[in-house]
Structure 1
Amino acid sequence: MIENSAYWYAVNTKPRWEKKVAKELDLKGIINYCPLNKVVKQWSDRKKVIFEPIFKSYVFVKIEEQKKWDIKRINGILNYVYWLGKPAKIKEDEINIIKNFLGEFNEVQVEQIGLQVTQKVRIKQGVLMNYEGILVEILGSRAVVKIQSMGLQLSAEFDKKNLEKII
């Protein structure tokens, strides 16, 4: 028997179309969530309170597995956010955490936590899995890591996805 349970997914939207997409999803009866942040904008003659999407170019949708491809027909939606070759399912708890956090705090800022040069990293895959080194340089989606061993220094280029920060 096929289960008809709905899952949360993140969809990528056209730039600055998050609220339009959320409204269109509402009109079609599709459960969605576009987290908004209250921001005061200052112009030369006035101040105005506006609501901006927290996650630029993303809207969360809750839809049944067999209907998930219908979403792509909605104007403004570009694609799903993928993880390991499939549309990434997002846990209900994670959506609730975002809702609770935004309910408690105003003027929230979202920042990507990236790798930084001179940071200590661990290699997650491949022959050098679990080796630790120092991030020397970031080249687009690749990174150069310095690995010290036996008094020698090796430098190798890795896919950034294969590195994790050591805290």
Structure 2
Amino acid sequence: MILTKETLSAGPNIGTGEGVAHSKRWYVALVRMHHEKKVAERLDKMGIENFVPVQQEVHQWSDRRKVVESVLLPMMVFVHADPKERKEVLSFSTVSRYMVMRGESSPTIIPDEQMARFRFMLDYSEEAICMNSAPLARGEKVRVIKGPLTGLVGELVTIDGRSKIAVRLNMLGCACADMPVGYVEPFK
């Protein structure tokens, strides 16, 4: 499915897999440091859908500035796989395991809706996205009505006195981007 502003604002059932009998789920594979893109390339060759969250950053050296692509979540690759593919991924020497919840043995599943919102946020945000693993108090559920993230549904939270839109990801915390209060409306 192609993520667009229209599919995201159409409602939570678009792209969530609700009511669809399929066994593919989103998992978080833990990989060796600096091997995220190599694992993603190998998964692409195998035909397994994956996602490595990256964003552009400006690095300043004494003699120059350069825009570089940096990995937002080091040592993690999101993998959309069925049980057979999930086991194949573990055969990679650069993949150590899947992320699991404390006290459980089965890999944590990231719901399709959360992944769609997270990917949308990364694709359309003009501001840098920050990951916040500290527990955030539940914010008011809002929909963005202005700006590049129009249609995104998330929570309006305040961090260090600044309003941000947050998209929660199971076990990973929240992806947050600056958001003026006037750009959102309450969402039921």
For normalisation by structure 1, the TM-score amounts to: 0.62
| TM-superposition CA deviations, 1:24-53 (whole Å, max 9, x none) | 111221100011111111112211111111
* 1:94 aligned partner: 114
- The 2-side partners of 1:65 and 1:78 are apart by 17
List per-residue Cα deviations over 1:53-82 (Å, max 9, x = no partner): 111111100111233111111242111001
- Is 1:71 the counterpart of 2:92? The answer is no
Say whether the 8 Å CA contact 1:24–1:74 is kept in structure 2: no
> Please, which of 43, 64, 69 is the counterpart of residue 25 of structure 1?
43
**Which consecutive residues of structure 2, in runs of 5 or more, have no partner in the other structure?**
1-20, 137-188
Aligned residues: 113
- Which residue of the partner structure matches residue 81 of structure 1? 99
Q: Aligned pair 1:9/2:27, yes or no?
A: yes
2:132 is paired with a residue of what secondary structure? coil
Residues 57 and 67, structure 2, Cα contact 8 Å, conserved in 1: yes
Tell me the TM-score normalized by structure 2.
0.55
CA separation in 1, counterparts of 2:42 and 2:24? 19
Gap runs ≥5 in structure 1 = 116-167
Given that 2:48 and 2:85 are in contact with CA atoms closer than 8 Å, whether structure 1 keeps it comes out as: no
Of 109, 130, 136, which aligns to 1:109?
130
Runs of 4+ deviating beyond 6 Å: none
- Kindly tell me: are residues 24 and 66 of structure 1, through their superposed partners in 2, closer, same or farther at Cα, counting changes over 3 Å? closer
Alpha-carbon distance change, 85 to 108 in structure 1, aligned in 2, over 3 angstroms? same
Task: State the Cα deviation string for residues 91-127 of structure 1 (Å, max 9, x = none).
Answer: 1111111111112323212232159xxxxxxxxxxxx
CA contact under 8 A between 1:4 and 1:65: conserved in structure 2? no
Identical aligned residues as a percent: 27
Cα distance in 2 between the residues matched to 1:30 and 1:66: 11
Tell me which amino acid in the other structure corresponds to 1:95: M
